[in-house]
Amino acid sequence: MANLDQIIRVALQNEPADLVLKNGKVINVFSHEILSDLDIAIVDGYIAGLGKGYRGKEEIDVQDKFICPGFIDGHLHIESTLLSPEQFAKAVLPKGTTTVICDPHEIANVWGAKGIEYMLLSSENLPVTIFVMLPSCVPATFLETSGATLRAEDLKPFLQHPRVLGLAEMMNYPGVLAALPDVLEKLNLAKEMLIDGHAPGLSGKKLQAYVGCGISSDHECTDLEEAREKLRLGMYIMLRQGSSEHNLVDLLPLVSPMTISRCMFVSDDKHPHDLLETGHLDYNVRLAIEHGLDPLLAIQAVTLTPAQRFGLRDRGAIAPGYRADLLVLDDLQKVEILHVIAGGQVVVKNKELLFSFDGHRAVISKSELTISRDLDFRIPVRGEQIRVIELVCGQILTRELRQKPKVEQGLVVSDPARDILKLAVIERHKATGNVGLGFVHGFALRSGALASTVSHDSHNLIVVGANDQDMLLAIETLRKSGGGFAVVNKGQVKACLPLPIAGLMSDRSLEEVALAMKDIETASQELAGIPNAFMLLSFLALPVIPSLRLTDKGLVDVNHFKLVDLFV
C-alpha cells in the first residue's frame, strides 16, 4: 500500500501526483457506468483520487479514450504458453493483462516442489503480478510415472508465501467423493483459503458433496444448464476460452447484471500462436462483446469479479486506494488497448512495450532427460490381434480398435499403409527405464516420426513414428535439447523447438517461440494427414480421458482405470 500521507496530500491536491491521466472516460465497475472527463491521480503505484484539476509530475491526456482496470486471468497454466514467466509477462502486457492466477500443475508434475519454487522465483518483481494456486493432483494417477509426488505436507510450506492464494483445481473429484485420505488432507490444508474446482459433468448429490468440501469454482462447464446448477450452489463460474477449449460463447447467456459477481472469463491454456495472433483476455472480452454482451459486464468479468473471488482487495476497479493497474482503450467495442499502466508505471504507451526487463534476472534451471541410450522398441508377436488407440476427429477422446498387426520377422511393426503407427512413452524423470509401447490410428503419418516432452499430465517423452529408426532419432534430438518438440524424417531432423525449462517452456520470446512452433507445425503437416498433430499427441498419455491411452507403464483402459495388454 502507498504511504497514507502521500495518498491524502495528493487526493486533496496539496501536492502533485506521480502520474495523472487527464480527461478520460472512466469505466466504473462498481456502479456499471462510464464517467466522462475525469482525471486519475496516481502516487506510489496507487490511485489517490478521481476528479478534475489534478496535477502530476507526468501527465497523459487521454481525452475521448476509455480507462478500465487491468485484466485479471483467474485460471491459467503458464506452461501451456511454452514461455517462461518473464517472457509470458512481455507477451501479455500489451494485451492488457496485469494480473494472473496460475496453476503450475504441469511443471510440478515434472519438478515437484522445485517447479512451484521456480514459478514463484522467476515471477518476482514483474509488471504482471503472478499469483499461484498450489497443484492438487501431483501425480494425476497411479497409472503413470510423474517426476514427483506432492502430498499435503509438501504443499504446506508454500501457504505462507504472499502470492500463494490456495489450492488449484481439484481434478480428482472421484477421490473427493470417495473421501480418500490424501485428498481430504489437501482440502483441509486449504480450507481457510481458496480451493478451485474441476468437475466436468458433475451434478446432483455428487456435485453437492463436492461443493460442500469448500470447492468454490469451476472452469470445466461446457453446457449452460451444468453452469447454472453450479452457480446456484454458489460456485464461481469461469467461462473458458483458450486454445484447446472454447466454452465462452455457449455459456454467455449465463452472464447478466444479476450473475456477473459470480462469472469471470479465463483462458486456462493459451498456445503461443494464439497469444500472438488473437490475444489473451482482450480476445475473450472482444468475443463476448461481439456476441452481444454489454461491454461493461464483459470488462467486469476480467476485473472486479476475479479480484473479489481471489480476495485481491487492492485491484480490479478504479477507485482511491486501489492499485494503479489501468488500461487506456482507443475503442471500447474492439477492446483496442493503447496504454497500459501497471503498479502506477506506464509499461505500454501507444501500443509499444516500454518496460525494461533488463533488471529482472530470470531463474532458468534447465532440464535433463534421464533416458537410456539403448532403447528397444521391438515388439515380439504374441497374438492375432492388438489393441490400437484411435483418434476421434476434433476431440481429445480416443476409442479402442482391435486390429490384426503387421508382422516382420516375428516383430510387430508400424503399418503406415493402414495408418497403424507405433507409439512409445518413455519415462524421463527418474531413470526407471519404463517404456510403454502401443499403436495409434489417425495420424496418417506416411513416414518419419514426431516426438514431444509435452504430454499431459506427467510429461514423459512421447513419440509416434512410421519406423523405429526415425523414432529413436527424434528422441535423441530432444535429449540433446533438454526437451521440446521434434520432427524427423528419413534420418534427418526437419524441425526442433527446444524447451529446456522442465521440457515444457522456452526462455525465448513469444515471437521466436511462435515462429519455431510454426516451423514444427509445417514440418509435421508435411508428414501427417491431420492438423495440430502435436496437440493430439500431447494428450495420448493422459490416463483420465476415455477410452484407451498409453503411459510409460503400458496401455491404459481408462473406462476401467487399469492397465491392459497390447495383445488381445
- Tens digit of pLDDT for each residue in 306-342? 999 999 999 999 999 999 999 999 999 999 999 999 9
Task: Compute the distance between CA of residue 219 and CA of residue 239 in angstroms, rounded to an integer.
Answer: 6
Q: Considering only CA atoms, which of 133, 205, 206, 123 is closest in space to residue 170?
A: 133
- Report pLDDT digits (tens) over 150-199: 999 999 999 999 999 999 999 988 899 999 999 999 999 999 999 999 99
Mean residue pLDDT across the chain: 94
Residues 151, 280 within the same domain:
yes
Binning pLDDT at 50, 70 and 90, where does residue 369 land?
Answer: confident
Residues 104, 224, single domain; the answer is yes
With pLDDT > 90 as the criterion, what percentage of the chain qualifies?
89
407-446 pLDDT, tens digit per residue, is 999 999 999 999 999 999 999 999 999 999 999 999 999 9
The Cα 386–Cα 566 span in angstroms is 6
- 549 shares its domain with 446: yes
Separation of alpha carbons 60 and 498, rounded Å: 42
**What's the whole-number mean pLDDT along residues 468-474?**
97
Instruction: Supply the Cα-derived Rg of the chain in whole angstroms.
Output: 25
For cell 531413470, name the residue: 431
Over the stretch 114-125, which tens digit does the pLDDT of each residue have? 999 999 999 999
CB 547 within 8 A of CB 399: yes
Which value, to the nearest 10 degrees, does the dihedral of the CA atoms of residues 109, 115, 119, 122 take?
Answer: -150
**Does residue 53 fall inside a structural domain?**
no
**Domain annotation covers residue 332:** no
Instruction: Say what the pLDDT of residue 186 is.
Output: 97
Domain match, 405 and 302 both: no
Cell matching residue 507: 526462455
Look at the pTM and tell me if it is higher than 0.75.
yes
271 and 396, same domain (yes or no): no
Q: Is residue 29 part of a domain?
A: no
The domain boundary, picked from 286, 317, 348, lies at: 317
Q: Are residues 404 and 517 in the same domain?
A: yes
Whether 336 maps to a domain, the answer reads: no
| Lowest model confidence (mean pLDDT) among 193-197, 264-268, 541-545 | 541-545
The answer to whether residue 113 is domain-embedded is: yes
CATH number of the CATH domain containing 147: 3.20.20.140
Q: Is the pLDDT at 360 greater than 70, yes or no?
A: no
Burial 192-201 (b: 16+ CB within 10 A, else e): ebbbbbbbee
Same domain, 191 and 272: yes
Q: Give yes or no for residue 361 having a pLDDT over 60.
A: no
Q: Would you place residue 362 in the very low, low, confident or very high pLDDT band (cuts 50, 70, 90)?
A: low
Question: How many structural domains compose the chain?
Answer: 2
pLDDT at position 541: 94
Lowest-confidence pick of 78-87, 184-193, 361-370, 393-402: 361-370
End residue of a domain, out of 292, 317, 342: 317
Please tell me whether residues 227 and 132 are part of one structural domain: yes
Domain assignment present for residue 162? The answer is yes
- Residues 273, 413: one domain? no
**Does residue 279 have a pLDDT over 90?**
yes
Domain that holds residue 546: 386-564
pLDDT at 258 over 90: yes
Tell me, what's the pLDDT at 366? 66
Residue 350 lies in a domain: no
- Are 268 and 398 part of one and the same domain? no
pLDDT in tens, 140-153: 888 999 999 999 99
Q: Give the side-chain half-sphere CA count within 13 A for 188.
A: 10
pLDDT band at 281 (very low <50, low <70, confident <90, very high): very high
Q: What is the pLDDT of residue 270?
A: 94
Region 466-471: mean pLDDT is 96
Same domain for 300 and 390, yes or no, is no
The per-residue DSSP string of 240-307 comes to EBSSS-B-HHHHGGG--TTTGGGEEEE-B---HHHHHHT-SHHHHHHHHHHTT--HHHHHHTTTHHHH
Last residue in a domain, options 272, 289, 317: 317
Residue 395 has pLDDT above 80, yes or no: no
In a domain, 534, yes or no: yes
- pLDDT of amino acid 365: 61
Residue 403 forms beta bridges with which residues? 386
Query: Quick one: 76 and 202 in the same domain?
Result: yes
